[in-house]
Amino acid sequence: MKEWFVPYAQKHWRGLVLSAVLMFFALFCAAGLLFTSGYLISKAALQPENILMIYVPIVGVRAFGIFRAVFQYAGRLTSHSTILRILSEMRIRLYHCLEPAALFIRSRFRTGDLLGVLSDDIEHLQDIFLRTALPGGTALLIYALWIGFLGWFDPVFAILLGLYFLILLVVFPLVSLMWAGKAHKRLSGIRHGLYDKLTDAVLGAGDWMMSGRQKDFISSYEGLENQSMLVTRRLNQIKIWRDFVCQLLIGLAVIFLLIWSGHMASGGHMQSTLIAAFVLVTFTISESFVPVSEAVERLPQYREAFTRLSKVDKRDPELPSVADSQPVWPDMREIIIEANHVFYRYKKKDEWALQDLSFRIGQGERVALIGRSGAGKTTLIHTIYGALRPPRGSLTLNGVPAYRFGDNMSEYIAVLDQNPHLFDTSVRNNLALGNEQATEEELVQAAKAVGLHELIEQLPKGYRTQMHEAGSIFSGGEQERLALARILLKQTPVVILDEPTVGLDPITEKKLLQTIFSTLKGKTLIWITHHLTGAEKMDQIFFMENGRFCMKGDHRHLMRTYPRYRRLYQLDVPDHLKHMLDAPFNEDI
């Protein structure tokens, strides 16, 4: 809560205070409207001899009626404007929390969790201002002024009524919290479960269909939906009963005010025309206390939202913030990557994910990073990219610690992963993501370099053709080529290849590798892979196991020195592919 509520409340306190003041004046005018209306009705019933006797309350009724709407509109406008500014800053902050890991986001967060945070938890932070903080603060201010006003007439009655109203302000909200708080918390958990199910529905529908278990999936999803509906129905029932009891308490308060004001009038302590005024104004005053119960019962939701946001926001405290990362390295056209005895682990009690890694990668070298899942390849890439800071050892780019580059790292290192995302916009716009300032000629040259120009020209509108969702007009290999064209336009000296050929057939894989190596000549290539196809084209091969380099060297050295590597290569690269791999990359197949 300290990280996601207090800083924004402090920064925007003027807007929040102005919103609360305007909301208070809206309620004040509503109360004044009923007070003067009651007085006017009573005064008019006495049949005054002159219209001037009731002229002032008539003006008061009109003034309070007009300004009530004005202040109510102004209060909502100000509060929503302030809250939307706060939410905008929160979303930007959330983006900056996710952005450093955007290239490897699946390794840190589940998609369902991100959907829940983006669509649900941020909205809860909106509610904490609109439905809890502002109504609660306004109700307390109205309460204090109303009790003080009554105390001017009768201090003893004011104290008694103040204690009675505490039932609406304190006791009843706490009961409501105990009654409905667990239901709100459960509903939040069910919704996040639905987000996870939704992710499975979108990403795994084909597997469910092929397994013939789609009915099981639909049944489990509908089960969660039914649970959500049951909890929502229960919350609605709680709300109905809560509002009913609140109205009963308000009705009793009206009766108390009627008895008290009648007694005061009969004793000559106030004018009889004020009886209706005091009775009517009680409705508006009491109604301002009703939202407090709903505001308090949402506290468990807020707590859950803060917890999830804190998990997303959790990062190495020693890494620089967005504000700390400044472009202080203008000339990085050639980069030397050096690691000296690097260690890393995610928690203090965990095993080391990286153990005593040392290497040097010069500009233009091709490096294969090989190993099975969990060997430490992704952690090492995170460290090279600067998303993780090693607690022991150092990893530098031209002598500068990688983590110091912060958000500027994308200017020096680009990533071509196995599932590049193509947006539902034109081919041109997808290419231009690599360099928004690129000219049409540069876009065409990049497309020609990766062998896509002729294909794009054959599309209905050429480079203006819409890609459709996820770039469905292109095959997997063509999508990888388009992502490669983005990297060419970006012109970074280092490129990380995160298994870009996974899922492709051998011939397509060989052609794509041919394109990658020919178009990225002169750039440093770090190729993450699980298998050894194409390893003979690498300058260095780092074979990782349990966070260590169990084998390191070029292909010939490893074949000559390590029998294990030789066996793995023979198993991984069938004989009928070796002639293809040994052929020059410019050879047609």
Mean pLDDT across 224-229: 82
Q: Between the CA atoms of 358, 362, 368 and 373, what dihedral angle is there, to the nearest 10 degrees? A: 40
Which fold is adopted by the domain 6-313? ABC transporter transmembrane region fold (1.20.1560)
The pLDDT confidence band at residue 139, using thresholds 50, 70 and 90, is confident
Rounded CA gap, 539 and 367, in Å?
Answer: 6
Rounded CA gap, 54 and 227, in Å?
Answer: 59
Length of the chain: 589
Backbone phi and psi for residue 243, each to the nearest 5 degrees, phi listed first? -65, -35
Q: What was the pLDDT predicted at 194?
A: 72
Q: What was the pLDDT predicted at 183?
A: 76
Rounded CA gap, 419 and 501, in Å?
Answer: 10
Q: Which helix (H) or strand (E) holds 259?
A: helix 214-266
Q: Are 481 and 515 in contact (CB under 8 A)?
A: yes
Q: Are 363 and 336 in contact (CB under 8 A)?
A: yes
Q: Which residue has the tokens 């406008």?
A: 77
Instruction: For residue 283, give both structure tokens.
Output: 């409705």
Q: Which residue has the tokens 């993450």?
A: 528
Q: What was the pLDDT predicted at 322?
A: 41
Q: Are 469 and 424 in contact (CB under 8 A)?
A: yes
Instruction: For residue 309, give both structure tokens.
Output: 């946001």
Q: What was the pLDDT predicted at 342?
A: 93
DSSP state of 52: G
Number of neighbours of residue 501 by Cβ within 10 angstroms: 24
**Mean pLDDT (the chain, rounded):** 78
Q: Are 193 and 228 in contact (CB under 8 A)?
A: no
- Region of 428 (left: φ > 0; alpha: ψ -120 to 50; beta: rest) is alpha
The pLDDT confidence band at residue 103, using thresholds 50, 70 and 90, is low
Residue 339: strand, helix, or coil? strand
User: Which amino acid, one-letter code, is at 335?
Assistant: I
Q: What was the pLDDT predicted at 349?
A: 81
Domain residue ranges in the chain: 6-313, 421-491
Strand ranges of the sheet holding 524-529, from the earlier edge strand across to the other edge: 413-417, 494-498, 524-529, 366-370, 540-545, 548-553
What interhelical angle do 172-203 and 299-313 show, nearest 10? 40
Instruction: For residue 240, give both structure tokens.
Output: 């109905």
Instruction: For residue 118, give both structure tokens.
Output: 């983006």
Instruction: For residue 148, give both structure tokens.
Output: 């003080």
Mean pLDDT across 471-489: 80
User: Which amino acid, one-letter code, is at 220?
Assistant: S
Q: What was the pLDDT predicted at 454?
A: 87
Q: What was the pLDDT predicted at 312?
A: 63
Rounded CA gap, 93 and 103, in Å?
Answer: 18
Q: What was the pLDDT predicted at 326?
A: 46
Pick 461 or 511 by higher pLDDT. Answer: 461
Mean pLDDT across 38-51: 71
DSSP string for residues in 285-329 = HHHTTHHHHHHHHTHHHHHHHHHHHHHHH---TTS--TTT-----
Residue from 489, 511, 530, 528 nearest 583 by CA:
511
Residue from 571, 578, 572, 541 nearest 556 by CA:
541
- 3-class secondary structure for 404-421? HHHHHHHHCEEEEECCCC
Which fold is adopted by the domain 421-491? Rossmann fold (3.40.50)
Q: Is 66 a residue whose pLDDT tops 90?
A: no
Residue 393: strand, helix, or coil? strand
Q: What was the pLDDT predicted at 32?
A: 83
Most confident of 42-56, 106-120, 143-157: 143-157
Residue 576: strand, helix, or coil? helix
Rounded CA gap, 29 and 406, in Å?
Answer: 53
Q: Which helix (H) or strand (E) holds 560?
A: helix 555-561
pLDDT tens for each residue of 187-220: 777 776 776 666 666 555 555 566 666 677 677 7
The pLDDT confidence band at residue 308, using thresholds 50, 70 and 90, is low
Rounded CA gap, 290 and 143, in Å?
Answer: 12
Q: What was the pLDDT predicted at 526?
A: 92
Pick 138 or 119 by higher pLDDT. Answer: 138
The pLDDT confidence band at residue 318, using thresholds 50, 70 and 90, is very low
Number of neighbours of residue 315 by Cβ within 10 angstroms: 16
Looking at the chain, the whole-number percentage of residues with pLDDT higher than 90 is 8
Mean pLDDT across 18-36: 85
